[in-house]
Amino acid sequence: FKRGMVVNLIRETDNEHDPDAIRVEFEGETVGYVANNDYTLIENVKSASEIRKMENDKAEVVLVYLDEYVIAKLI
């Protein structure tokens, strides 16, 4: 992930593990999921369950921390 990168968001209502799951794709490949657990969230960041209405299906990466944690904004 790099700052400014635009990713696609796909809601997976049929996901057997999490009906609120939102898959993150880049160039047709699954690169992760929107966090949806109190242990993986940071303050003031919405979880997948809190994103009830996705008006757009894209997000822009605004911060990458320790090459592991990614913060993106809906665009």
pLDDT tens digits for 41-59? 666 666 676 676 666 689 9
Low-confidence ranges of the chain (pLDDT < 50): none
Q: What pLDDT is recorded for position 55?
A: 63
Report which of 3, 20, 2 is spatially closest to residue 12, judged by C-alpha positions: 20
Distance, CA of 37 to chain centre: 12
Q: What pLDDT is recorded for position 48?
A: 72
Q: What pLDDT is recorded for position 52?
A: 63
